[in-house]
Every structure is written in C-alpha cells, then in structure tokens.
Amino acid sequence: MSEILTPEKFKYFGKNVKIHEYTKIIYPERVEIGDGSQLDDFVLINGGQGIVIGRMNHIASFVSIIGGGLFTTGDYAGIAAGARIITGTHHYGDGMRISPLIPEAEQCVIRGYVRLEQDVFVGSNAIIFPNVTIGEGAIIGAGALVNKDITAWTINVGTPSRVVGIRPRIKTNPY
C-alpha cells in the first residue's frame, strides 16, 4: 500500500499544489514543491540529495525523476508524459561493478545536478542525463536525449539533442 502524501511530509509544500493519488515520492522530506504546481498520477520522484520544483510546474504521468542526485526547476516548467530525469547513474569506472546491490565502495556512482530553468518544456519520453542545465525557455522535443547543457530559448530534438530552432521569449507574466 502506498504512503499517503500529506503537506507536512515535505520539506516545503506551496499553496494550491495538486498531487494525484497514484504519485510515488521517495524521501518527500527532501522535496520542495512551489505554489500551484501539479504532479499527475504515476509520477515517480526520488528525493535524492534534494528536489526543488518551482511555481506553476506541471509534471505529467509516467515521468521519473530518479538517481539520488539534485534536481531543480524554475517557475512555469512543464515535463510531458514519460520523460526521464536522471540525477545519478552508475559508470564502469576503472573496472568497477555496475549494480546498486553491492557495497558502494565497489561501484562507480555518479550523482549530479539537473536544472530546468524558468519556462522550460520537456517533451514526452525525453531523457535528461546528470549534470545538465536546460536554459530558460528552452524546449526539449519528444524522445530527445540530453547529455549536455542546453542554450536558453532554443528548440532541441534528437539523440543526442541538437538545436533546430529558436523559441520566442515569453511576453507576459501572470503574477
């Protein structure tokens, strides 16, 4: 049975936040969620070293934010269905094993920081690797693989992702 997520379980829980019934958050005490944000059913978040979700963010069904590292978003970010935000992973290192089931001294674990700046949109089934910043207003297309920083206000697609256009800057501020 899933644990019921109530506001007091979080590091910070803003006003008018909506978390659907079938959302799973591991270590909610490490998670901050800004005003007006929404997490749909079947979202999986591992609080890792810390998660900060800005105001008015939407995280759609089947999104995973995993890996045990850090993750932050600016305000007005959107993450579409099935996207994967990976804040940590294993590496073969110098002859290291790749299994979370053995002592950490025998593993080469990479924990990183993923940042989505304000007004970023991540398309369905996109994958974002650790240690990546997606600049303000950038769009990541469906199915893209992001393994390096993304320039603000660009449109990016492909595997690995590449710039294919420029997004117009936001003209209004609802606050």
Residues 126-155: tens digit of each pLDDT: 999 999 999 999 999 999 999 999 999 999
Angle (CA) 113-58-25 rounded to 5° is: 60
For 28-41, write each residue's pLDDT tens digit: 999 999 999 999 99
- How big, in percent rounded to 5, are the helix, strand and coil portions of the chain? 5, 40, 55
Q: Are strands 44-46 and 64-66 parallel, antiparallel or unpaired?
A: parallel
Look at residue 1 and tell me whether its pLDDT is greater than 50. Answer: no
pTM of the full predicted structure? 0.93
Residues 160, 145: Cα–Cα separation, whole Å: 5
Residues 148, 72: Cα–Cα separation, whole Å: 16
Q: How far separated are the first and last CA of the chain, in Å rounded?
A: 39
Amino acid at the residue 117: E
Q: Are strands 139-140 and 154-157 parallel, antiparallel or unpaired?
A: parallel
As given in the structure block, the two tokens for residue 20 are 């659907």
Look at residue 174 and tell me whether its pLDDT is greater than 70. Answer: no
Amino acid at the residue 128: I
Which band of pLDDT confidence, cut at 50, 70 and 90, is reported for residue 2? low
Q: Name which of 65-74, 87-96, 166-175 the model is least confident about.
A: 166-175
The overall average pLDDT reported for the chain is: 94
Look at residue 91 and tell me whether its pLDDT is greater than 90. Answer: no
As given in the structure block, the two tokens for residue 162 are 């590449």
CB neighbour burial string for 62-74, b if at least 16 within 10 angstroms, e if fewer: bbbbbbbbbbbbb
Q: Scan for tokens 């089931």, then name that residue.
A: 101
